[in-house]
Amino acid sequence: MLSCKDVSETVTDHLEGSTSFQDRVALRFHLLICKHCRRFYQQFQIAGGVSGSLGDEVSEPTDDEIDALVRKLKARN
């Protein structure tokens, strides 16, 4: 039987689709009967997702910046 601890350790494998059919069935079944793990599994996905919007946004290089870099690249090669 899959334990809650097993779920906490394999959640990323499941989310990334690197588990076997059998493992997936076992997880499905566990989630069906365990509300703690249901919550854990859902919130774990939310946690990973927040990183998509964090940190300073990198802006597209301006034409001047691109020109400067091209000049440097050509000077070097």
Partner 1 sequence: MYESEDALIKGLVNGEDAAFRAAIKQYQVSMIYLARNLVGDKIADEVVQKAWFSAMKAIPRFEKRSSLKTWLLRIVANEGKTRLRKENRMTSLEALTEADPAFATRFDDTGHWETGPAQWDADSPDELMTRDELKACMDQLIEALPEMQGATLNLRERQGYSLKEICNILEVSESNVRVLLHRARTRLFRCIENFEQTGDCCTS
For partner 1, the binding residues in 1-40 under the rule CB under 8 A are 3-6, 8, 11-13, 16, 18, 35-37, 39-40
Nearer to Zn ion by Cβ, of 39 and 71: the residue is: 39
Q: Least Å distance between CB 50 and Zn ion?
A: 23
Task: Take residue 52 and report the two structure tokens written for it.
Answer: 């998509």
Distance CA 47, CA 50 (A): 6
**Among 20, 22, 33, 60, which residue sits at the site for partner 1 (rule: CB under 8 A)?**
60
Contact positions vs Zn ion (CB under 5 A): 4, 34, 37
| HEC letters along 38-67 | HHHHHHHHHHHHHHHHCCCCCCCCCHHHHH
